[in-house]
Chain A
Amino acid sequence: MRRTAFVLMLVLSAPVAIAGQVVVNDLVITAGVAGEDYSGNLPAVTIAVVDSTQDASAAVGEFSGRLDAAYFFDQSHRLSLTVDVGLRQFAATGFKIRDYAPREWVGRVDASYSQALSSWGSLRVYGGYKGRAVNDRPPMPLFLQPGYNQYRGGVTLGVGGGDVRFDVGVRGQIDSYRSLKLVPQLDVLDRESAGIEVGIEVAQPSTNWRLRLFGAFEGSRYPSQPSFDAADPFRRDETIRTGAQWTYVGGVIAAIGLEGTLNRSNSARPEYNAASLRGELTAPLPWDMSITLFTTVTGKDYLLDTEFARLVPGEEADNASVAYITLARPLAPNLDGRLRFGWTRAETDIGNSYFERYGVTFLFDFRPHL
């Protein structure tokens, strides 16, 4: 009897070989060069220098790395880690005042702990940091997001199994922009937010697609941004987002997402309604090639019209479109080549302001760990 119990204990406690191990899902080191062209007259509140040119161009060198790994405590507990770092050096020309040589440093670390909760659900706790720094930030139209530190974390609980799953999550985020002596206005973008999101996901394993409907509420405060209301001096927003995403994973990987946003604030200027449509497609092509399309189209409607444009590109343009096409092909067992075409356009009704960017990038992706 004792022996049977001991054997049973051994069998039950026998971990699978993967337990206690670190598994590297992907490790990619990327290097590449790009040629980019920028045009437009969209003013930016976060950029101190102004140049009268409407066209600029840049040669860009890029170096980056990404690690995606997981540590398995056992079959139902895991810790996932993603580390992504990058450096981009621009040599920009076409400005009236001088040529610029901006340099971007970015780094992101995301960790999440997942645990299966018996057969009825799963729990995910996550946290992450993203940092960004820009040296010699140029004037428009060569728009580069300013440097910031971003901290985020949250908990998601998934309930149900099989074809229908419900999820509920809470999350919080702090964005702290790196203001400079000459650009103190970057502080107005500092933000603290917290929100809750609920979703229902319907999966069809036989046809490889899943559909998720979601709704989210988020509260934000901008501790350095005035609301122009003496009784409530700093901007506070309340945002409702709702939408759907359909995903297919099979011979191709496809995703289509539609999202609506209602942003209300104690400051009248940033109150708006917006809709965004996003599409992603990755498909194999002949000669071992693959194509990835990424596109986002956004329309935005402000409740209060302003007569002057004090805009933050990337945030408060009226509408924007982003499209990227990437062609990839293996060149050697550990080496892929990638050719990427990118296009971005953001515009506003005020003074027909717009910003446009075209780019062609050639990249090598090296995977030391296949």
Chain B
Amino acid sequence: MILPIVRPWLAPTSRRLMLAALVAVGLGGVPPGALRAQSLPTVAQLRLEYQEAASTLEAAVAAFEVVESRFNQAIDELTVAKESGDEGRLDRAYASAQAAAPAIRVAEARVREKNEEAEEARARLGEGLEAELDRLYSAEDTVPIEGLADLRITIVDMENELDEVRGSFVGFAVQPAILVQLRIDPTDGPNDILNKADLLERRAARHTANLSEIDGRLEELRKRQRLQRARNTALAGVRRFDDSRVPVGPPGQGSSQTPPGGVVEPAETIEEQIRGLEQVRERLVELRDEIIERAGQFRVRAGGKG
């Protein structure tokens, strides 16, 4: 789960845009430095860039939530499958978790990237507004008296917008969904908070159990990998110099030796299975540690020991 710390959105700007356009016309001339400004993006362009960046960020966050939910479902299914004792179901649950774990990393990285882009767009908009305000301040001395009131309204509005932009922190904190669901409510008493801490710790204990199951699987896979490598190295050593060539068929003739994984390449090698499982493990450890930390915070808030 990704939480927006502050909603990264600005107030509607169409009124301000129109005002700014009117003032620019009312100024009755090309302001100094306008030719140079033509090559720079206008405030309107910067606003659009920021809105686009914020929109892309929101979409990336939503995509992250989808893959995170898929991973959580796979982990829950892992627990259920383990309890049911159905090996096939357990294998399928592992396959789902392995497929979802790398996607989380990708989605997380994308959120971080889009976060940075939105933050840069925000900074550029802030700078653009400051520059525009400087220009308007200097126009106060030259604008005709009938346009002064409109100009000051525009300045005040733009100052407010600048404050909003400076204050809008486009940050998203990545948090496990369980931590979002379980928060301390202002009406919660110490017992309610302790109950929530218990709930979190039970969830962490389930993850710990899943982790030891994964560790067992990893150990088993590594044993198989050692055996597979011993076989491949031994056979490659014999075949490398044609020492195993038998007197059937012409020299160099291929034979129908089915590799252990089948005649068509296997969907996943042992190395890939290990890698996939390690990614699931990594994600699960992060999840469990965050939950334990939050449970500790709850206990401290409830007045107990952390």
Q: Give chain A's interface residues, CB within 8 Å of chain B.
A: 3, 6-7, 10-11, 14-18, 23, 25-26, 28, 30, 64, 66, 68, 70, 75, 78, 80, 84, 86, 88, 104, 106, 108, 112, 114, 116, 122, 124, 130, 132, 145, 148, 150, 152, 156, 158, 165, 167, 169, 171, 173, 175, 189, 191, 193, 197, 199, 201, 203, 206, 210, 212, 214, 216, 218, 220, 222, 237, 239, 241, 243, 245, 247, 249, 252-253, 255, 257, 259, 261, 263, 274, 276, 278, 280, 282-284, 290, 292, 294, 296, 298, 300, 312-320, 322, 324, 326, 328, 330, 336, 338, 340, 342, 344, 346, 361, 363, 365
B249 proximity list for chain A (CB < 8 A): 239, 241, 261, 263, 274, 315
| B193 is an interface residue with CB less than 8 A from chain A | no
Q: Is the interface of A mostly helix, strand, loop or mixed?
A: strand
| Known A284-B227, A296-B244: A14·B251 in contact at CB below 8 Å | no
| B3 is an interface residue with CB less than 8 A from chain A | no
B264 proximity list for chain A (CB < 8 A): 114, 122, 124, 156, 158, 165, 167
A-B contact pairs, 23 of them (CB 8 A): A14-B63, A14-B106, A16-B103, A17-B102, A66-B236, A122-B265, A158-B262, A165-B264, A167-B264, A212-B263, A220-B250, A245-B258, A247-B258, A255-B260, A257-B256, A280-B231, A294-B235, A296-B244, A312-B251, A315-B247, A328-B233, A328-B234, A342-B238
| B245 is an interface residue with CB less than 8 A from chain A | yes
B251 proximity list for chain A (CB < 8 A): 145, 148, 175, 189, 191, 312, 314-315
Is B272 a contact of A23 with CB atoms below 8 Å? Answer: yes
B272 proximity list for chain A (CB < 8 A): 18, 23
Contact partner of A253 among B102, B228, B233, B255, CB < 8 A? B228
| B66 is an interface residue with CB less than 8 A from chain A | yes
B66 proximity list for chain A (CB < 8 A): 7, 11
Give the distance in Å from the alpha carbon of A169 to the alpha carbon of B70 in the complex.
38
A106 proximity list for chain B (CB < 8 A): 240-242
| B269 is an interface residue with CB less than 8 A from chain A | yes
Give the distance in Å from the alpha carbon of A75 to the alpha carbon of B96 in the complex.
13
B258 proximity list for chain A (CB < 8 A): 199, 201, 210, 212, 214, 245, 247, 255, 257
Contact partner of A14 among B107, B234, B243, B260, CB < 8 A? B107
A222 proximity list for chain B (CB < 8 A): 250
Tell me the smallest distance from the CB of A154 to a CB of chain B, in Å. 9
Is A167 a contact of B245 with CB atoms below 8 Å? Answer: no
Q: How many A-B residue pairs have CB under 8 A?
A: 246
| B275 is an interface residue with CB less than 8 A from chain A | yes
Give the distance in Å from the alpha carbon of A360 to the alpha carbon of B260 in the complex.
27
| B135 is an interface residue with CB less than 8 A from chain A | no
A203 proximity list for chain B (CB < 8 A): 262
Task: Give 3 nearest A-B pairs by CB, closest first.
Answer: A17-B102, A158-B264, A292-B234
Is B235 a contact of A322 with CB atoms below 8 Å? Answer: no
B60 proximity list for chain A (CB < 8 A): 10
A7 proximity list for chain B (CB < 8 A): 59, 62-63, 66
| B99 is an interface residue with CB less than 8 A from chain A | yes
B257 proximity list for chain A (CB < 8 A): 245, 257, 278
B233 proximity list for chain A (CB < 8 A): 28, 30, 66, 328, 336, 338, 365
Is A86 a contact of B260 with CB atoms below 8 Å? Answer: no
B224 proximity list for chain A (CB < 8 A): 249
B232 proximity list for chain A (CB < 8 A): 26, 68
Give the distance in Å from the alpha carbon of A152 to the alpha carbon of B245 in the complex.
17
